[in-house]
A and B are shown apart, each in its own frame.
Chain A
Amino acid sequence: GAGVSQTPSNKVTEKGKYVELRCDPISGHTALYWYRQSLGQGPEFLIYFQGTGAADDSGLPNDRFFAVRPEGSVSTLKIQRTERGDSAVYLCASSLSPDNEQFFGPGTRLTVL
């Protein structure tokens, strides 16, 4: 079956703009995670959804970052007033439940000029 998909694969934007990154998890997976990976670093946890609700958003760096998962499937990560330091690969992962293997998507490479 299909894996986790993320769109767009690449996004270039200007400082101060608003961006939305989309994640389509594996069908039936109730848990969904967002991570940010900077060059040469491991993924850094941002937020975790169980169903429609954010079970843990402790990794969001500040209030410019927000994520939603309104129907418990697709999720959107939203970044307002982008800064150059937001440039990174944003990874999404999903799992059947929180104690199961997380399957990662290919990521969205965000570049803020």
Chain B
Amino acid sequence: QKEVEQDPGPLSVPEGAIVSLNCTYSNSAFQYFMWYRQYSRKGPELLMYTYSSGNKEDGRFTAQVDKSSKYISLFIRDSQPSDSATYLCAIQSGYGQNFVFGPGTRLSVLP
């Protein structure tokens, strides 16, 4: 079993839709959870960062962590064509430890 699993998509939605992206992980030692967005031929950029179970909201983005189920989600409200990108979850076991990335979900928001 891979450490971090993610549905690779592609996922296509109409503009304005609510998007749900998910990751599962296997190691209960993971403590820090991140979502990155990666546009084609660019490096990933951090969207959300959290270290506890529950929800964290930032504008149209909400990150949700359920440590008991080892499940994390990213919700995008009122999706825009500019949200079309690959979304990567990344998990870190502790301070200074390396990140483990999921394979990414490719999202297309159609105008």
> Which residues of A does B touch, CB under 8 Å?
4, 33, 35, 40-45, 48, 50, 55-56, 58-59, 91, 93, 98-99, 101-107
B98 touches A56 (CB 8 A): yes
B43 touches A99 (CB 8 A): no
CA distance A93 to B6 in the complex (A): 22
**Interface residue? B99 (CB, 8 A):** yes
**Interface residue? B13 (CB, 8 A):** no
Looking at chain B's contact residues, the main secondary structure is loop
Q: How many residues of B contact A (CB 8 A)?
A: 22
Given A42-B88, A43-B44, A59:B98 Cβ within 8 A? yes
CA distance A33 to B100 in the complex (A): 13
- Determine which of A4, A45, A50, A101 lies in contact with B43 in the assembled complex, contact meaning CB atoms within 8 Å: A4
**Interface residue? B60 (CB, 8 A):** no
Q: Which residues of B contact A55 (CB under 8 A)?
A: 96
CA distance A48 to B100 in the complex (A): 13
**Interface residue? B45 (CB, 8 A):** yes
CA distance A33 to B104 in the complex (A): 19
CA distance A71 to B35 in the complex (A): 31
Looking at the assembled complex, report how far the CB atom of B20 sits from the nearest CB atom of chain A, in whole angstroms.
Answer: 19
A106 touches B43 (CB 8 A): yes
**Interface residue? B61 (CB, 8 A):** no
B98 touches A102 (CB 8 A): no
**Interface residue? B75 (CB, 8 A):** no
CA distance A98 to B94 in the complex (A): 10
Known: A42-B104, A43-B88, A106-B43; 8 extra A-B contacts, CB below 8 A, are A33-B98, A40-B103, A41-B104, A43-B99, A56-B96, A56-B97, A104-B45, A107-B43
